[in-house]
Structure 1
């Protein structure tokens, strides 16, 4: 049955007359008769009997009328609830973010947004930057946070840029780095290529990799306990006391930095809650 069929059943039960029912619903009499016949075929029963005195409902017809009241009321309630949700900025934000941002930036950001918009919910996926671009492109996430620009995304907003530095809990001499124990971590291919290029520009021999860990956060912990040096973004080092660091620079003596962008697609921006979140992030000082 279509939504209007429930209204037809209610009006017909109230009027007990085809002509009056058609007039009340602004329908032609043949159109109303056609819809009534369609409903009867759909349920496979006779719903009404016609006579010179008007319409009489069968037991099946009366049951359908009773059900129609419940369904119409429920449908109106759903429409009202949806309207309220829109006014309350409610819904679920699907967010994809890198491990780094998920650990050090995203929780505080989502907490502030939730405080201001308590009806918002979050579904967060943590993945590599290259995969996040795919999630956004395929509309499997509303908003993404990435640290490498893999291209192909028109809507990118630079959130912040931070230095990349050599970090160690013990003093070090730059020229001695190839012989010192280095802690390495898995990172996006483009970012790793950038750091490898920097190394080749400054040293003729490869680094001495003493440890390979899966995440940047684990690498930081190894550095924190004095197990070697690592090349890390500055923001991650804020809670390590007495850390020794040296910011990386390229051949042109320009700082080598790690950028963080917010990305999304045009379709997602049509959702009010996504629009609200994007504007909120842009206005935040991360």
Structure 2
């Protein structure tokens, strides 16, 4: 069996669906089914059962799926080590980024980095900063980009700091804020605590939340539509100069801000591709 056979088992275990596995691997369904049968014959074990509930892995299949993950990790590490021996910047760079960074910053980063190192491939995981922090801790990714002051035992580079603002298409009277319609969005726990604490220090009644959406950029669009105000990081508003922005302050008059960090394990820099990307990000402009 070759690496692609193990990748078939691994992907099928994740997807639990022949059609989706074929799409993910760019293999037609009949070809994939035939190849899976050949793998089962070669191993002398039935890997999956297919019924009305879709693909179900047999006990042997469960074992092989676990080993497939381990073997694919080994294959990847071997490739990375060989590239490293040759002092060559190539291979797959595994990144974890918060949702905001994946939309507003990451595309330009990757495009600029690829111009310098065209043989590098990228595997990107997106999610909330808490999730990215955990992926980096488990070494499921090489480098993570998070927003907020999460505990991190390894290397931690401050990239930039931005203000938190009340954003509205109309001027805002802060004294009347509890009576105005607000738009909220699902976000990291630390960010929510930051804004909730700011509110609790100033108002005795809860905000008048009229709309809750799943992402910050959707929230911004709701503000632009005039549905209400929102509390947003200033970088969300770079391309909307016509929006009124009221920077938040702590009770002692300091700006309320959020920091964005690059995190990674020091030993990861032994890989040429990781070291090159870390150095690239340290030199990159952000605002």
SS of the equivalent of 2:156 reads strand
- Equivalent residue, structure 2, for 1:17: none
Verify the 8 A CA contact 1:133 1:153 in the aligned structure 2.
no
Give unpaired runs (5+ residues) of structure 1: 1-77
What is the deviation of 1:195?
A: 0.6
Tell me: CA distance 1:172–1:118, structure 2 relative to 1, closer, same or farther (3 Å). same
Query: Deviation of residue 149 (structure 1)?
Result: 2.1
Distance 1:194 1:130 in 2: 15
Q: What residue in structure 2 maps to residue 265 of structure 1?
A: 265
2:102 is matched with: 102
Displacement, 1:87? 4.3
d(CA) in 1 for partners of 2:216 and 2:252? 27
Partner in structure 1 of residue 123 of structure 2: 123
Alpha-carbon displacement from aligned partner over 1:88-132 (angstroms, at most 9, x marks no partner): 411110000000111111111111111111111110000111111
Aligned runs of 1:186-201 on 2, under 5 Å? Answer: 186-201=186-201
CA contact (8 A) 2:185 2:212 kept: yes
Residue-by-residue CA offset, 1:44-92 (whole Å, 9 max, x unaligned): xxxxxxxxxxxxxxxxxxxxxxxxxxxxxxxxxx99xx46994441111
* Count of residues paired in the alignment: 208
Going from structure 1 to structure 2, the CA distance change for 1:227 and 1:249 (only over 3 Å counts) comes to same
Report SS of the residue matched to 1:275: helix
Q: Which deviates more from structure 2 when the two are superposed, residues 94-103 or residues 260-269?
A: 260-269
Any conservation in 2 of the 1:133–1:144 contact (CA below 8 Å)? yes
SS in 1 for 2:249: coil
CA contact (8 A) 1:153 1:263 kept: no
Q: Conserved in 2, the CA contact under 8 Å of 1:139 and 1:268?
A: no
Correspondence for 2:253: 253
- Alignment map for 1:17-36 (pairs within 5 Å): none
* TM-score, L = length of structure 1: 0.69
* Distance of 2:249 and 2:275 partners within structure 1: 37
- Unaligned runs of 5+ residues in structure 2 are 1-77
Q: 1:95, 1:123 within 8 Å by CA — same for their partners in 2? A: yes
User: Residue in 1 aligned with 2:112?
Assistant: 112
RMSD: 2.0
**Alpha-carbon distance between aligned partners in 2 of 1:253 and 1:83, rounded to the nearest angstrom:** 52
Please list, as runs of the form range in 1=range in 2, the aligned pairs for 1:39-188 lying within 5 A after superposition. Answer: 82=82, 86-188=86-188
CA distance in 1, matches of 2:246, 2:83: 55
Q: 1:120 to 1:200 in 2, by over 3 A?
A: same
Q: Match for residue 18 of structure 1?
A: none
Answer yes or no: is the 8 Å Cα contact 1:167–1:243 preserved in 2: yes
Rounded to whole Å, the distance in 2 between the matches of 1:209 and 1:216 is: 15
User: Post-superposition shift, 1:238?
Assistant: 1.5
Question: Does the residue aligned with 1:267 lie in a helix, a strand or coil?
Answer: helix
